[in-house]
Amino acid sequence: MIPSREEAHRLLEDAERSNLGPWVKHSKAVAFCAEKIAMNCVGLDAEKAYVFGLLHDIGRKFGVKHLAHVYDGYIYMKSLGYDEVARICITHSFAVKSLISYVGNCDVTEDVKLFVEEYIEKTQYDDYDRLIQLCDAMGSAQGVVSVEKRMADVKVRYGYYPQEKWDKHIELKGYFSQKVGKNVYELFCEKDLLNEEGGCA
Ligand SMILES: [Fe+2]
């Protein structure tokens, strides 16, 4: 079961009241990006992609956290019966199936760390997992940007970005570009933002 678009917006608004921050605009950009790409892919449900994008970071409702936000989001969505969204709350951060690839602090208990580690290990990623991983790397609080720009920004903010993860996101961009039949960046222009390697601006 997944929430409707309206319910997803209600959940995000509620979460914003608990933790105001640029993550809300980022979530909206990820939703927009995911919907647009899904609309152009055979076999992907654009509505579902939008809701997944909007709620992938919902764990941020519980405060300014790093790795903990994926687990908090998972537990929260599970508690509402939204198992598919719960899955996305975890998988979106692990295009590379390794906790070492996480950019940020490991602010969870050993038990939670083990749970997340096992969860990503046993989960066979589908195109929705991959789509939100890609769009998380394209959605900024200002709008949709190229994967290269977003990753470079994260690198500046955190001081590092694992090469393996960088390569994986570029690979995901290629994967969806092939599905769409053209460079995914071409789906976004002008008011959507993008820039640098992504063109437009
Ligand atoms: Fe995100």
Residues 65 and 72 sit within 8 Å (Cβ to Cβ): yes
Question: Taking 60 as the threshold, does the pLDDT of residue 200 lie above it?
Answer: no
CA dist., res. 43 & res. 127, Å (int):
9
pLDDT band at 104 (very low <50, low <70, confident <90, very high): confident
Among the residue ranges 78-92, 94-108, 111-125, 130-144, the one predicted with the least confidence is 94-108
Q: What percent of the chain has pLDDT above 70?
A: 94
Higher model confidence: residue 119 or residue 107? Answer: 119
C-alpha of residue 167 to centroid of ligand 1, in Å: 18
Q: What is the average pLDDT score of the chain?
A: 92
pLDDT band at 201 (very low <50, low <70, confident <90, very high): low
Ranges of each domain in the chain = 5-198
C-alpha of residue 90 to centroid of ligand 1, in Å: 11
C-alpha of residue 199 to centroid of ligand 1, in Å: 22
C-alpha of residue 132 to centroid of ligand 1, in Å: 8
Question: Taking 70 as the threshold, does the pLDDT of residue 195 lie above it?
Answer: no
C-alpha of residue 89 to centroid of ligand 1, in Å: 9
Specify the residue for token string 């598919």.
Answer: 84
Q: Is 20 exposed, middle or buried (0-12, 13-18, 19+ CB in 10 A)?
A: exposed
C-alpha of residue 43 to centroid of ligand 1, in Å: 24
C-alpha of residue 162 to centroid of ligand 1, in Å: 17
Residues 12 and 5 sit within 8 Å (Cβ to Cβ): no
Planar angle of CA 55, 82, 136, nearest 5 degrees: 25
C-alpha of residue 135 to centroid of ligand 1, in Å: 8
C-alpha of residue 136 to centroid of ligand 1, in Å: 5
Question: Which of these, 36, 31, 63, 41, lies nearest to 187 by C-alpha position?
Answer: 36
C-alpha of residue 6 to centroid of ligand 1, in Å: 20
Planar angle of CA 91, 17, 133, nearest 5 degrees: 15
The pLDDT tens digits for 27-76 are: 999 999 999 999 999 999 999 999 999 999 999 999 888 899 999 999 99
* CATH number of the structural domain 5-198: 1.10.3210
The pLDDT tens digits for 131-169 are: 999 999 999 998 999 999 999 988 898 888 899 999 999
